[in-house]
Chain A
Amino acid sequence: MTITLRNLSAGYERHPAVHHVNGEFVPGSLTAIVGPNGGGKSTLLKALAGFVRPMTGSIDFGGLKPREIAYLPQQIDIDRSFPLSVAEVAALGLWPKIGAFGGMTAAHRAEVSRALGEVGMELFANRPIEALSTGQWQRVLFARLIIQNARVILLDEPFAAIDSRTAHDLTHILQYWQSEGRTVIAVMHDLTSVRLHFPRALLLAREAVAWGSTAEVLKDENLARAQKLAENWVEDPAACERPAA
């Protein structure tokens, strides 16, 4: 179930944020996507989640079904004044099992409490989500991911704007997912954390500057090259002549 990118370009309004990228995410790998702002990290994740269509090239999911891929976008997108409880939001992770109409059984309820326990939120099960801190809210979304039980998990800056204790706890969950054989791909900003906890990395500055073991990828010369590429992005680019296939 390797995910293979073949000459992938993706973006918005003819401007590719991801430009002719080749490479693969092997099953059970834990990969951090890093790189300068505007370098296509989120776009690549959206393409993997099926939210952005490739402009050229393709993504081969190696037989993975779309419902086996979980996607957690950046936090900003969700309206937290919605009148739902912590347990109700976590229970949304049951969707792949019970869908739009199936009922929740006692076993499902137990699964929800167990997942809330794993993220340290079991005492908050009945609280309205409005009352949570940013870190607690991210813990709840992780509980939903645990319940979703997907083979591939995509996360967009999961630790942005949250406290270090929560980031620490949730990083352990990423590593646990990898130990269970899941493929985990996360867009990250904090290079120190990437060096400590992520075995593999992809340095993306529209093009894949480097892709492999984290120690190799995050070498100074690669980081400098990524920065240089980012500085050379022009206002009014010409049409790209590179072959699509």
Chain B
Amino acid sequence: MSEVAGPRSLQYETPAHQADAAMVGMWLFLATELLFFGGLFLTFLVCRHQHPLGFALAGRNTELVIGAVNTVLLVTSSASYGAGLLLIERGSRRGLVLALAVTAALGASFLILKGFEWRDDFRRHLFPGAGFGLSGEDAGGAQLFFAFYFIATGLHGVHMLVGLGLLGWLALRARGGAFDRGWTTPVAVVGLYWSFVDMVWLILFPLIYLLGRAG
């Protein structure tokens, strides 16, 4: 059990020990992210309770088609990433790089569509503030909805950008031969992050696009 520690020894006993710590660390980080978005969800809950009509009005002014397409894109990107992880676990370096490219393309498409959506929202003066596009007595509540909308999708978008950066970094390392059957931990760790960003969207999507149209 006791071992003499040479000057270059790690605090980990085996690579598996270190891999396990990395995975556990990422899960814990995602827990913090859940609480981060959770504060946003509380804001939505409370504001919606106080302005039900305004939120419904605003919800009907979101672009459902883009939202739904984006959801499909993200879900597919999670699947492609999962496939990539399976491929590298079976030794296919090319498979991983391909899967990462597909995932990144899907993620980038998501952001591009989001960009178009935001552009349309700005054109219709849906950004809260002076000159808000919707009027009537529910306009105040609608503004609050759009405040939540822009903050939530903005933060989500930032997380996507970071994710794209991580995907690019992984792809570069994979092409350089850093991963094989025996060492896939960074891929698994980034996969957790990417899937989590997907999960956040899976909750944001109904909150933003569907609740105002339901019932």
Q: Do A and B come from one complex?
A: no
Chain B residues engaging chain A, CB cutoff 8 angstroms: none
